[in-house]
Structure 1
Amino acid sequence: MIKNLIKYLQKKSLKDKSFLYLFDEPPKGEYICLDCETTGLKPRKDEILSIGAVLIKDNKIIFRKNFNIFVKPSSNVNVESIKIHQIRPIDLENASEPKIAILKLLEFIGARPIVGYYIKFDIAMISKYTKKYIGIKIPNESIEVSSMYYKTKKRSSEYEFVDLKFDTIMKELNIPELGKHDALNDAIMTSMIFLKLKDKTPAKTTFYTN
């Protein structure tokens, strides 16, 4: 009931009714896995620099259906953040304006659930822009792969530590690394994690309503 109320209020706050498709029934067996590269880890002040996303359909990664875009920041990227995300000023010379990038992303996602690694951060970053451009946070349900992985681990007690680092999960699940950690590659690798875990925790997949 609370979920329906939230959706009702979001629909009322939507500035442009052409985005009502975000509230449609999602296509069965389809998900969007995405990753964002950002200037920092604070959604309120930091900005998105690139977004990578890929379609998962019927337990397959549809590589030809991918989304990969650089987003123009409001100011020059500082040297310290370049060390983290590896995105250089030259990479951003032909970057898209934020509004264009975000609206294209929404069209790519549609009503599908969004899969990711620490996806709440990516959702918070994207929602900062969607709130500005269409009046609401992104309404799609989201699935956290680290939570799925956590639920597969047998522990002797509820206090036992479980390493949830991305590289650890990849190694434990015997998933090959694609090389460069950019937004699209990370989205594809996260898709592999999701598909590997999906059948292990079919009734335990963690959904979040944003």
Structure 2
Amino acid sequence: MYVKPLGAECRRIWQRGDHALIGVSAGNSYFNQERLTKLLKWAGHSFAEIDVVYVDTHLDTMLIADGRAPLHAAKSSRSTIKDLRRRIRRSVELVDPDGVRLRVRSLTEVMDLPEYQKVRLSTDLAMREDPEFAATCEKMVRQVVGHRSTGDGNVMTKAHIEAGLSYLQAEAPLFVDSPSIFDVRSSVVCYHMLTPITDQLCRRDSSFRCAPENGYLIVRPTELGES
């Protein structure tokens, strides 16, 4: 696996090997069966504890922004999430058949945790009152929605931006303080690419930063390269 920590502090946290948070997006073609299995195998050899969180929120909202009818959007979202759960389950059965080290939860389940709700208060406040963080969040949403829009001819609309921001608002606490949310000493968030929000949160010169023991790794199969 190609692994790149985002700075010296992230490398230190990675080397401790306490905990990895692996976020999996529904409807993202990157997370096929082979890549999920490779990622979980790597994490199983690198960390004492692993949480896999799949995003199951605001998918229908984005489809409605695409012009889908609400009932069709809800049905499509359920099918997408069901398929993702199946892929994750197959990978977990291969990597951790006894279910000892890998925990799998939906983002909806995590959102019910009191620790998540505490961190959510601070991230929501930063989105409203920290201009740098708010701009970074909007930049990330525009990147994601922009890639999405080019695939099917849809143009980016205000509804897309609002749906994307709601999606990111639900996800952001995981990037900000995963040690508190998952009750671990330290944690690294693993993703296959650099994103605007992780780039800002791990910088010491930014106004709104991640928790001290929260790190970030770019992790992907070696054959996909370093770019």
Q: Which has the higher contact order (CA 8 A, sep 6+)?
A: 2
Larger relative helix fraction: 2
TM-score (norm 2): 0.30
TM-score (norm 1): 0.32
